[in-house]
Amino acid sequence: MRATGARAHILHLSSGEALAGIRAAKAEGLPITVETCPHYLSFAAEHIPDGATQFKCCPPIRDEANRGLLWAALLDGTIDLIASDHSPSTAELKFAGDGDFQEAWGGIAGLQVSFPAVWTAARERGIPLERVLGWMAANTAELVGLTGAKGVIAVGADADLVAFSPEVSFAVEASALAHKNPVSAYDGRTLYGQVETTWLAGEVVHARGGDDAERAPRGRLLERRSTL
């Protein structure tokens, strides 16, 4: 970066040991952005049962002290955003080896519950919902050059919206998730934040208690024009 001026993005940051170097790079003005993931903010290694390979990911989940460092780095701006890093592994691959972490497939399946998971952990720390929205909506849109269209509620934006009940709790059931494969490290975990309704470009695509199967998948390729 220093030699070329090229922008760099660090993904899947899990270790607090990297934070000092990142802070120094940002203080120097180098064009660097950083993301972490919901599972690194939600889980700690000492609370993962032996043989629970649904928690296997790369980089690995670390201890509680490290989790605190990641949260502090989000709050001070060292870490810019939170990305899902969803892994769609089948149960056969995820539990291969009967508890052997060397054989099991890596990655956390958590796309559907990533927002409530992060909000639950933030809520426990007294962090307001507005900060979570910045890390998971506004900042992610800015990273990929979609500022003005995504991540904001404003005239001219794409009207991708969620009706969210922040104080409603629910227990995650992996078998009830819309994930293709019913495997999740969040299975059985109580989370706060119920998604009631989701709009895509102003049209309802999900309503709790409704029949989403009747709604055909919709979407379009989003392209970003390079400014380089």
Residue 145 lies in a domain: yes
Query: Is residue 166 in a domain?
Result: yes
Helix (H) or strand (E) holding 170: strand 161-171
**161-185 residue pLDDT tens:** 999 999 999 999 999 998 889 999 9
Asked, for residue 219, whether it belongs to a domain, the answer is: no
pLDDT at 228: 41
Q: Contact at 8 Å (CB) between 64 and 46?
A: yes
- Residue 159, in any domain of the structure: yes
The two tokens of residue 87 are 């892994």
Q: Is residue 20 part of a domain?
A: yes
| pLDDT given for residue 226 in this prediction | 54
Question: Tokens 């990533």 identify what position?
Answer: 114
Inter-CA distances, 221 with 88, 144, 150, 218, 224, Å: 21, 13, 14, 11, 10
209 band by pLDDT with thresholds 50, 70 and 90:
confident
Confidence of residue 222 (pLDDT cuts 50, 70, 90): confident
**DSSP 3-state assignment of 178?**
coil
Token look-up 């307001």 returns: 128
Domain membership of residue 13 (yes or no) is yes
Q: What pTM value is reported for the model?
A: 0.92
Residue at 92 is within a domain: yes
Euclidean distance between CA atoms 23 and 20, whole angstroms: 5
Q: Which domain holds residue 113?
A: 8-214
Most confident of 42-46, 143-147, 197-201: 42-46
Percent of the chain with pLDDT over 70: 95
Per the structure, the count of domains in the chain is 1
Q: Please report, for the domain that includes residue 15, its CATH number.
A: 3.20.20.140
pLDDT at 64 over 70: yes
H helices of 47-184, where?
A: 64-75, 91-94, 114-124, 129-133, 139-143
Structural domain contains residue 223? no
Q: Is 102 exposed, middle or buried (0-12, 13-18, 19+ CB in 10 A)?
A: exposed
